[in-house]
Structure 1
């Protein structure tokens, strides 16, 4: 008897269509950025409803710019504490990474039926959050050579200016990330570094959403605006065509 077919779903939100007011206007999904909690709750409910998911089946993280990756097997009433990557093999359980310049990363092994979501900012990328996510994927039953990855919208290398010493430090830990900005100053391209890290680990299918959060005003950007909301990158597993 053949195994049930697995369908991987991936969604990245924009800032339009929610309840939040300026400077979080309008579809802010981040609960820890100073927005009205009732607006965030309404936005999160709408996200689940629009995706056809149970509201309690969105799994959120208390993101800390670390490298902890956790395997989840069921809904969580609260955000998973102090983690920046989630993995599951449970159909209909949607994993959420929140970002506003950092790189949201969505991973999947469609054969094994395992999905993952990671929040990879400069610090997390430097300390190996994606390596931890891949390890958790394998523990959950995935095979690295079958894993597909989407690197979501983030600040691009032409906009991400950093001190030269910081660029050198990140490059030492995440080769391929060092670049120059549009102005010719030291910069970081985290997606380029993460792409190389994934490829070196044996991941063959890597897609990149090329949008820059600083340049694209339909997306939230902390570097552009300071106080602002958070977009969500969401992934979940559907089996036999149903969440």
Structure 2
């Protein structure tokens, strides 16, 4: 169920795979996305299972309404009522509050400066990479007292540059903004390396402690991939500070 759970100086980072949940195909089994057509009761049960595995309160998880933009919100509790506004980044100083990113090929980015007590999470697909959602998230963290040089970052399971085929013109558009995202598929066609672009953006901001989950969602049968399956579930990546 939990692919990786890493803890550093009171900051926790975790990523799920697709197994251990109750959703039926094509969302089998641990679908954590609430806007992909799955039974809402199954999603609620899956989110509770994942939280239980991590030892966190499912009612203390912030889920975003992700729209492939660069808007970032500072939060101190989950959104009430109708839910989250359209954002692709969240930051908090509230210990015990988990920030979550949903993906099925896009790059989830988790960030923490435990010394300042500030964490952030960003949803970086190709449009978000170009729009600058990761720099925007780091900027909001620094407003709350974080320093880029102290931030630890993780990029989670996502489609790799060797698999993310795009038209040449689209690759050119991306690389005009983030040159480090330039890639070629394993079969020799134009591609975009979103995670590589994110890591380059972080390095440019002075974030040098960056780890990668090292899993391509398109290649791994243990992970949801929109490019492979179209109708499918969503993985979750979590970051939180110990209370």
The CA distance in 2 between the partners of 1:163 and 1:58, in whole Å, is 37
Select which of 179, 187, 190 maps to 1:183: 187
Q: Report the equivalent of 1:214.
A: 218
Stretch of structure 1 that moved more, 29-38 or 69-78: 69-78
Correspondence 1:114 to 2:115: no
Alpha-carbon distance, 1:24 to partner? 0.2
The CA distance in 2 between the partners of 1:122 and 1:81, in whole Å, is 21
Correspondence 1:65 to 2:68: yes
Correspondence 1:12 to 2:3: no
The CA distance in 1 between the partners of 2:63 and 2:24, in whole Å, is 22
Alpha-carbon distance, 1:75 to partner? 2.9
Q: Report the equivalent of 1:152.
A: 156
Correspondence 1:161 to 2:161: no
Q: Report the equivalent of 1:49.
A: 52
The CA distance in 2 between the partners of 1:155 and 1:203, in whole Å, is 22
The CA distance in 2 between the partners of 1:34 and 1:10, in whole Å, is 27
Select which of 38, 41, 54 maps to 2:41: 38
Structure 1 residues 135-161: Cα deviation after superposition (integer angstroms, max 9, x where no partner):
111111101111111011100011100
Question: Root-mean-square deviation (CA), in Å?
Answer: 1.2
The runs of at least 4 aligned residues of structure 1 exceeding 6 Å deviation read none
1:38 is paired with a residue whose SS is: helix
Structure 1 residues 13-45: Cα deviation after superposition (integer angstroms, max 9, x where no partner):
000000100000000000000001110011111
Q: Report the equivalent of 1:96.
A: 100
Q: Report the equivalent of 2:5.
A: none
2:240 is paired with a residue whose SS is: strand
The CA distance in 2 between the partners of 1:16 and 1:135, in whole Å, is 35
Counterpart contact for 1:6–1:113, Cα < 8 Å: no
Q: Report the equivalent of 1:225.
A: 229
Alpha-carbon distance, 1:80 to partner? 2.1
Correspondence 1:27 to 2:30: yes
Q: Structure 2: any 5+ residue segments left out of the alignment?
A: 1-7
Q: What number of residue pairs does the alignment pair up?
A: 235
Select which of 115, 128, 131 maps to 2:132: 128
1:112 is paired with a residue whose SS is: coil
2:183 is paired with a residue whose SS is: strand
Alpha-carbon distance, 1:98 to partner? 0.2
The CA distance in 2 between the partners of 1:60 and 1:140, in whole Å, is 20
Alpha-carbon distance, 1:55 to partner? 2.1
Counterpart contact for 2:63–2:78, Cα < 8 Å: no
